[in-house]
Amino acid sequence: MLNVEMLSTGDEVLYGQIVDTNASWLADFLFEQGFPMTRRQTVGDKFADLVAILQARSHEADILIVNGGLGPTSDDLSAEAAAKAAGTELVIHEEWLAHMARFFAERGRPMAPSNRKQAMIPAGSEMIDNPVGTACGFAMQLNRCLIFFTPGVPSEFKQMVEQEILPRLRKRYPSIEMPLCLRMTTFGRSESDLAQQLDPLPLPEGVVLGYRSSMPIIELKLTGPSAQRTGMQQAWQKIRDVVGESLIFEGTEGLPAQLAMRLQEQHLTLALSEQFTAGMLCWQLTNAGVAVVQGQVLPSSAPESLAGCVQSARQLAEQQGSSLALVTGAIDADNMQNLALHTPDKTVGLRVNWSGRRHSVETRQAVCAMLAMNMLRRWLNGWDVSAEHGWIHIEEQLTHPA
């Protein structure tokens, strides 16, 4: 098994002043490509620490991707530390220096003398192109390890990994295949509840079922070698059967995109009125292409009764000439909230009890938006809109025929 590692650099990353999104993206990307990470580490901007960790990991890792420290400022020390670790010197890469000069000239800006530093790489290393920035990357062999050095800017980093590093890994390790990964997302059931039923299921050799809880959803991921495709698909059907109506979508496209496709197929339009969700629901749906004919955000100062919420949904659809309407009401003094879905055949209202829930406002807003979309999903599937909400406590429901 290959030891694939990542080293993130920079005091701002080490001290948590910025979120290391590059690390999470790279871990997921490499996993999907068949190069799962075995270790992730972070180091600050101290030169001696950089040199020491490069030397140490070069004796343990097969592949190391170093992120950050290739800028023009004094605290960008990755290239210098790499040269020190390898016992060599920095040399100017004339082709990249010329590339940078053109980069600035095309934008009508002078190149600062400090940028020259970004064309200096350790002697004997291979320059790696950066298609969108001024910091070139480079690769070098140190002891047993092939080390790639990349800039910290996410847009530059991702393109370099996809266009430059991955092809080199594929060429160096041609026998490594991409794993088969099946994903589904559930809503309304707890992770422990799902695990209790799913963990006893037999899986093919080398296949793993993983759980990722990200309120308000839980993602299930079945991963294994492509050679086990038939057995994995059989296991996947059993997982579907256990999850049942809590399965809100498969793959990675997302529920809003699924709703957009189905509403478009049936030529249905949607009107929205939000209080507690404060526009979150409208943003998620319109961003996915849902035809929202009206999206209004109302103040949360005057919560309606459940009957009033149902009536508001019906009136909203009538006023806007919309096929469907969703209303997310405010949370009242008793920690109750009303939601309503109006459809051509009925209007359904739910009264949710948030008492005892210590989630943040942002989390409850996300749960509420998902609950509203799930009501719509269930209606489109011809299911009972008010059923299968799992840990979400529905205090009361109200249905009015059209």
pLDDT digits (tens), the chain, 402 positions: 899 999 999 999 999 999 999 999 999 999 989 999 999 999 999 999 999 999 999 999 999 999 999 999 999 999 999 999 999 999 999 999 999 999 999 899 999 999 999 999 999 999 999 988 889 999 999 999 999 999 999 999 999 999 999 999 999 999 998 999 999 999 988 899 999 999 999 999 999 999 998 888 999 999 999 999 999 999 999 999 999 999 999 998 899 999 999 999 999 999 999 999 999 999 999 999 998 998 999 887 777 899 999 999 999 999 999 999 999 999 988 889 999 999 999 999 999 998 876 778 888 899 999 999 999 999 999 999 887 777 888 889 999 987
Q: Which two tokens stand for residue 289?
A: 């292409």
What is the DSSP-derived secondary structure letter of residue 31?
H
Distance CA 12, CA 22 (A): 13
Q: Residue 146 in 3-state DSSP?
A: strand
The CATH homologous superfamily for domain 4-172 is: MoaB/Mog-like domain (3.40.980.10)
H or E element, residue 256: helix 255-265
Pairing of strands 63-67, 120-122: unpaired
3-state secondary structure of 246: helix
Q: Where are the domains of the chain?
A: 4-172, 180-250, 255-401
CA 296 to chain CA centroid, Å, is 28
What stretch of H or E contains 48? helix 47-57
According to DSSP, residue 291 is labeled -
Give the long-range contacts of residues 351-359, CB within 8 A, separation 24 or more. Answer: 351/306, 351/394, 351/395, 351/396, 351/397, 351/398, 352/392, 352/393, 352/394, 352/395, 353/393, 353/394, 353/395, 354/393, 355/393, 359/215
Distance CA 345, CA 323 (A): 10
Per DSSP, 80 falls in state H
Query: What pTM was estimated for this model as a whole?
Result: 0.76
DSSP type of residue 279? T
| pLDDT value for 393 | 86
Give me the helix-helix angle, 361-380 and 255-265, nearest 10°.
Answer: 30
Bridge partners, 185 (sequence order)? 219, 249
What number of residues does the chain have? 402
- Tell me how many degrees the CA angle 241-245-249 measures, rounded to the nearest 5: 95
DSSP letter at 227 equals G
Q: Do domains 180-250 and 255-401 have the same CATH topology?
A: no
Please tell me the distance from the alpha carbon of residue 176 to that of residue 169, in angstroms, as a whole number.
Answer: 9
DSSP class of 143? T
- Taking only Cα atoms into account, the Rg of the chain, rounded to an integer number of angstroms, comes to 27
- The C-alpha atoms of residue 168 and residue 287 are separated, in whole angstroms, by 36
Q: Which of 277, 280, 309 is nearest to 395 (CA)?
A: 309
- Domain at 180-250: CATH architecture: 2-Layer Sandwich (3.30)
Query: What torsion, rounded to 10 degrees, do the Cα atoms 386, 387, 392, 395 define?
Result: 50
CATH of domain 255-401: 3.90.950.20
β partners of residue 140? 147
Measured between alpha carbons, how far is 31 from 13 in angstroms, rounded to an integer?
23
